[in-house]
Amino acid sequence: MFDTLQDRLNSAFKSLRGKGRLTEADIDATCREIRIALLEADVNLSVVKEFVGAVKHRARGTELSGALNPSQQIIKIVDEELVAILGGETRTIRFAKKPPTVIMLAGLQGAGKTTLAGKLGRWLREQGHSPLLVAADLQRPNAVNQLQVVGERAGVHVFAPEPGVTTAGGADQPTGDPVLVARRAMYHAQQKLYDVVVVDTAGRLGVDEELMRQAAAIKAEVRPQETLFVVDAMIGQDAVNTARAFAEGVGFDGVVLTKLDGDARGGAALSIAKVTGRPIMFASNGEQLTDFDVFHPDRMASRILGMGDVLTLIEQA
């Protein structure tokens, strides 16, 4: 087994010299390797196929240059295509002309929404905003407490009129209605002049129609400028199903990729960007409130391919 795409491609190209054009057989061999590399990085299969098709098309028309060997040349094409998809439309939060700006977080269970609410809160506060975090997850045990602690650490206020599921509130009984909390939060924010409202919601599965409707109802209530789909960078082939389900069920404007401090390749980034056409806006890369960054498409491309150094060299060639 070869560890890196570079090794794989070099072996596929053993017999080649950097002259003329690549033959169809060379391109096929390369594309097989690229396909495997992307699948091992958890890029969704349908996305891999389309992507490899595009690479093949470009590779056919390419003159080999002197500076790069054939495998490097193909890698360059692959990298450019990746960055084009990942960075299609980079942007950051759009603020409302008339405050408050509302940011709603949605995603699967355990993706990192509540943690992100704290990170966003801190980040916005540092930029001179006065954000309010809203505890609209009344379902997960102690989700409200968690947001309160996170808000305290971030130095931002938390609107939490309902305790949600806690020991005190009867552990089995979710209290209150998240849609109502959302509505009251908007009123509260207007009264108290918060200029950004970040709504934390319960984790939900794409296949859970009832909870998807609830998320849509929350959204209708707060009418966010930005609905962010929060997704774990470790997710596999299911990324596409889930992203589609959220796109259809709730609708989202941007993506936040979490747990990027791990060693997952994060091929889901490519799948989601490609399938939904929504930009990846932020990267969450740790459990601390400061572990938060805008998304860098070029770094993500190297990461998916597992070949940072090579790409730097190729850039320079």
Partner 1 sequence: NALSRGLLALLARDRIDEDTWEEFEDTLITSDLGVGPTTELVEALRTRLKVEGVADPGAARRVLREELLRLVDPTMDRSLATEPGTDANGAHVPAVVLVVGVNGTGKTTTVGKLARVLVAEDKDVLLGAADTFRAAAADQLETWGSRVGVPVVRGAEQADPASVAFDAVRAGQQGEADVVLVDTAGRLHSKTGLMDELGKVKRVIERTAPVGEVLLVLDATTGQNGLTQARIFREVVDVTGIVLTKLDGSAKGGIVVQVQRELGVPVKLIGLGEGVDDLAPFDAEQFVDAVLSEA
- For ligand GTP, the binding residues (CB under 6 A) are 107, 109-115, 137, 140, 143, 202-203, 205, 258-259, 261, 284-287, 291
The residue within the footprint of partner 1, chosen from 8, 13, 34, 44 (CB under 8 A), is 44
The residue within the footprint of partner 1, chosen from 55, 83, 111, 275 (CB under 8 A), is 111
From the list Mg ion, partner 1, ligand GTP, none, which binds 281 (C-beta under 5 to 8 Å, kind-based)? none
Q: Is the dihedral of CA 267, 258, 204, 276 positive or negative?
A: negative
Task: To the nearest 10°, report the CA torsion of 91, 226, 239, 29.
Answer: -20
From the list Mg ion, partner 1, ligand GTP, none, which binds 179 (C-beta under 5 to 8 Å, kind-based)? none
Q: How far is CA 165 from CA 125, 133, 208, 259, in A?
A: 29, 18, 20, 26
Which residue number, 72 or 242, has a Cβ lying nearer to partner 1? Answer: 242
* 114 scored as a contact of Mg ion (CB under 5 A): yes
* 201 scored as a contact of Mg ion (CB under 5 A): no
CB of 242 to partner 1, least distance (A): 7
CB of 227 to ligand GTP, least distance (A): 15
* 145 scored as a contact of partner 1 (CB under 8 A): yes
* 238 scored as a contact of partner 1 (CB under 8 A): yes
The residue within the footprint of partner 1, chosen from 8, 75, 103, 112 (CB under 8 A), is 112
CB–CB of 143/151 below 8 Å?
no
Which segment (37-45, 98-106, 186-194, 299-307) binds partner 1 by CB under 8 A?
Answer: 37-45
Which residue number, 165 or 307, has a Cβ lying nearer to partner 1? Answer: 165
Residue 86 neighbours by CB under 8 Å, 6+ apart:
269, 270, 273, 280, 295, 297, 300, 301
Helix, strand or coil, per DSSP, at residue 179? helix
* Residues contacting partner 1: total by CB under 8 A: 51
Task: To the nearest 10°, report the CA torsion of 140, 142, 144, 149.
Answer: -130
Q: What distance in Å separates the CA atoms of residue 176 and residue 208, rounded to the nearest whole number? A: 20
* 245 scored as a contact of partner 1 (CB under 8 A): yes
For the chain, the farthest-separated pair of C-alpha atoms sits apart, in whole angstroms, at: 75
Q: Which of these, 10, 5, 12, 20, lies nearest to 82 by C-alpha position?
A: 5
The residue within the footprint of partner 1, chosen from 171, 294, 313, 317 (CB under 8 A), is 171
Q: Give residue 34's Cα distance to chain centre.
A: 22
Specify which residues 294 forms β-bridges with.
Answer: 282
Write phi, then psi, for 296 (nearest 5 degrees): -115, 105
Tokens 């003159």 map to which residue? 63
From the list Mg ion, partner 1, ligand GTP, none, which binds 149 (C-beta under 5 to 8 Å, kind-based)? partner 1
Report the interface residues with partner 1, using CB under 8 A. 36, 39-42, 44-45, 108-112, 114, 139-142, 145-150, 153, 165-167, 171-172, 205-207, 232, 234-239, 241-242, 245, 259, 261-265, 267-268, 287
Report the interface residues with Mg ion, using CB under 5 A. 113-114, 143
